[in-house]
Amino acid sequence: MSDGTVVLLVLAGLAVVAMVVVAVILLVKMVKARKLLNEAGIPVENKFLFWGAVVYLVSPVDLLPDPVLLDDIGIMLIALRSLYAAAEKAGVGRGRREQPVVVERADWSVK
């Protein structure tokens, strides 16, 4: 193989690895968003976005061939944006701070 071919293959491999890393990071964020939705009692149609994006990620039928994960990343970004928008609309999520839990001190003295 020529040096140009080796460089091209290495660059293509690095691009595939970078796309897989981005896809995994987005999948982790989607799982966290789904957990947030479950805790907040968000309507079911927003949960379908999560499962639809996950199924599209693992599905062999794609708009682009599987080594190119740009379409999968785009679908996950759209689903993640919609999930966070639903959580924000429900009043939970990144933008809101939850009220701290106040625990009263127990009186352990002998009376």
pLDDT per residue as tens digits for the range 84-94: 887 777 777 65
Higher pLDDT, 5 or 85: 5
- Evaluate if residue 97 carries a pLDDT over 50: no
Q: What is residue 10's predicted lDDT score, i.e. its pLDDT?
A: 92
pLDDT above 70 covers what percent of the chain?
77
pTM metric for this prediction: 0.64
Task: Tell me how far apart the alpha carbons of residues 106 and 95 are, in angstroms, rounded to a whole number.
Answer: 34
C-alpha 85/C-alpha 76 separation (Å) is 14
Euclidean distance between CA atoms 31 and 28, whole angstroms: 5
From residue 10, how far is each of 4, 14, 16, 58 by CA, in Å?
A: 10, 6, 10, 25
Over the stretch 24-52, which tens digit does the pLDDT of each residue have?
Answer: 888 888 888 778 777 777 666 667 878 88
H-only helix segments in 1-43? 3-40
